[in-house]
Amino acid sequence: MGSFCWSSGVYNSGFQRTNDGVLVNSGMRYGPASALALASSSSLVLDSVRGELVEAPVKLERKMVSAEKSVEALKNHSEAEKRRRARINAHFDTLRGLIPGAKKMDKASLLAEVISHLKDLKRKAAEASEDSDCVIPKDIDEVKVEPDHKQALDALHLITKRAEIATLGCRMKNVFVMTTSKEENDEVCRFYARSVCQALRAVLEKFSASEEFLKSPHSNKRRRVSVFNP
Amino acid sequence: MGSFCWSSGVYNSGFQRTNDGVLVNSGMRYGPASALALASSSSLVLDSVRGELVEAPVKLERKMVSAEKSVEALKNHSEAEKRRRARINAHFDTLRGLIPGAKKMDKASLLAEVISHLKDLKRKAAEASEDSDCVIPKDIDEVKVEPDHKQALDALHLITKRAEIATLGCRMKNVFVMTTSKEENDEVCRFYARSVCQALRAVLEKFSASEEFLKSPHSNKRRRVSVFNP
DNA sequence: CGTGACACGTGAAGC
DNA sequence: TGCTTCACGTGTCAC
């Protein structure tokens, strides 16, 4: 890449003095791209020895126009970039106001802080949603016990030994200890016991599946239904 | 601001030809600041007419050193800036991974998304903490009813018409509708009623105050104790 | 003096 | 083509 002249901050079109003469409106002032665009035709120079312009005023006009267009484009460009920076910085300021104790923090540290807060809050929010959808059952959480199923359970003549419903926080623990009457045949008892276990497993799996379906892809909810002891 | 020459991308120290002679190692190549630093002493020029150097080779050496130092400083500067940009951009990428569906999002939109997520999660987290400290009472939530106070209530011969304890989610609604027996004097009844109302108000205020004390400065928890109808 | 953080204008690339 | 976004090197200020 070659060197070029740069006028910082000011967009003025004017003349530049050289030792050979007056270089009219050199595109070099506006960067390599502009210079290249004008390099296809020869430079417009006032020869100090012969005292005349090398090119016609018509072409000079065209050059003025295209040069001004380039200047305008470059000006628009820098102003657009300025707006973009302002937009991003406004968001940085908003974040500084959102993160406690980050009023005067530099961009990198601020972003790091934002990231840690985001991770932290995501974890907390996951727990919160887990709790809330635990205590307010959705339609999909409903598990129907059909009459014939209930009759099947009734046929076992089960005796409820213990029924425990304990809640801590928003978690619930249900314990049902059931047994059959001693009069029943052991064989029949074991068969029914297996059937009950399978049925309850199916219910728990359906429950888990529906819960899985409700989960967001990156959710890290803890499982609510864990162990089933037959 | 004045114009100056800029060599883009390459850090080379060399010579620049002018019509008056050979300008040795012009600081102009490295921006206004460098130019200013070298402007304090005269330029080192090889006079083409007289055929001799204006200044001694010793000073030329010094200038080479200081120029090389400037080049080195500028190089360090641009590299440090590069590291800074990389640091910030790494955080941007982390955020893109943290916000769902923001993999290819531009910086401004990403920050806007981060802000809305942050506000959303803050709200959810506040609700979560509100719920959790609601169902697990702290010591400070305890409201003691002293024996003498209870006796005072007993003296009213209050009849509990209705007692309602309803829970939804982690919120609890307690409704106590009490009245006095019809035999009591209306005057006495009203006096006691006022006393009871004042006492219960005091209890609720104490409860609210302790809750207020527990709140973090920027918390937006919803109040749990709201209306008391005498 | 150096070092770090920021804003700026600009070239390049994608649409 | 023009518009947008990004990386870059640089000027500048503060510590």
Domains of chain B: 65-129 (4.10.280), 147-210 (no CATH)
Nearest to A6 among B6, B117, B135 (CB): B6
Whole-number Å distance between alpha carbons of A193 and A177: 12
Q: Which segments in chain B show pLDDT lower than 70? A: 1-64, 128-230
pLDDT band per the 50, 70, 90 thresholds, residue A145? very low
**Residues A114 and A99: beta-carbon distance below 8 Å:** yes
Whether A106 shows a pLDDT value over 50: the answer reads yes
> Does the CB of B4 sit below 7 A from strand D?
yes
Whole-number Å distance between alpha carbons of A57 and A80: 34
Q: Which whole-number Å values give the CA distances from B81 to A85, B21, B36, B75, B77, in the listed order?
A: 17, 37, 23, 10, 6
pLDDT computed for residue A117 by the predictor: 94
Whole-number Å distance between alpha carbons of B70 and A170: 67
**Interval A170-215: pLDDT, tens:** 555 556 666 665 555 566 656 666 666 666 666 666 655 555 544 4
Higher pLDDT, A120 or B204: A120
Separation in Å, CA of B166 to nearest CA in chain A: 14
Collect all residues of chain A within an 8 Å Cβ-Cβ radius of residue B89. Answer: none
Q: What is the mean pLDDT of residues A214-221?
A: 40
Which residue on chain A is closest to B90 by alpha carbon? A108
pLDDT computed for residue A94 by the predictor: 97
DSSP B70-109: HHHHHHHHHHHHHHHHHHHHHHHHHHHHHSTT-TT--HHH
Indicate the range of A37-51, A129-143, A191-205, B152-166 predicted with least confidence: A37-51
pLDDT computed for residue A123 by the predictor: 85
Q: What is the mean pLDDT of residues A60-88?
A: 87
Task: Please give residues of chain B from 83 to 122 whose alpha-adjacent beta carbon (CB) lies under 7 Å from any atom of strand C.
Answer: 84
Separation in Å, CA of B123 to nearest CA in chain A: 9
pLDDT computed for residue A4 by the predictor: 32
The angle that helices B186-214 and B147-155 make with each other, rounded to 10 degrees, is 150
Residue nearest to nucleotide C4 (CA to C1'): B80
Whole-number Å distance between alpha carbons of B53 and A68: 43
Higher pLDDT, A129 or B168: A129
